[in-house]
């Protein structure tokens, strides 16, 4: 079962950095969605990799 994780950031630059980190770890680009209007990143990930994805997202200091 897949989980959707959403985090909000302060800037578009933070979104870019999150994207790059997720892709660098092997996350498929089709599972990463950037909402530049709301500065949000949504990631669809299997339950097994949820902790790793959360670690990356939190590293970039989300505001929520």
What are the structure tokens assigned to 53, written together? 């994805």
What are the strands of the beta sheet with 40-46, ordered from one edge? 2-8, 40-46, 32-35
Name the band, by pLDDT with cuts 50, 70 and 90, for residue 62.
very high
Whether residue 64 is contained in a domain is answered as no
- CATH number of the domain at 23, please: 3.30.1370
- 3-49 pLDDT, tens digit each: 999 999 999 999 999 999 999 999 999 999 999 999 999 999 999 99
Tokens 């959360």 sit at which residue?
Answer: 54
DSSP H or E stretch at residue 36? none
What are the structure tokens assigned to 39, written together? 């500065």
State how far the Cα of 26 lies from the Cα of 37, in Å rounded to an integer.
26
| Parent domain of 50 | 2-59
Whether residue 38 is contained in a domain is answered as yes
Whether residue 49 is contained in a domain is answered as yes
Tokens 């079962």 sit at which residue?
Answer: 1
């Amino acid at each position: 079962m897949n989980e959707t994780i959403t985090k909000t950031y302060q800037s578009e630059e933070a979104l870019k950095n999150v994207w790059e980190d997720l892709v660098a770890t092997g996350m498929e680009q089709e599972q990463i969605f950037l909402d530049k209007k709301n500065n949000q990143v949504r990631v669809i990930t299997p339950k097994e990799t949820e902790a790793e994805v959360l670690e990356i997202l939190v590293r970039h200091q989300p505001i929520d």
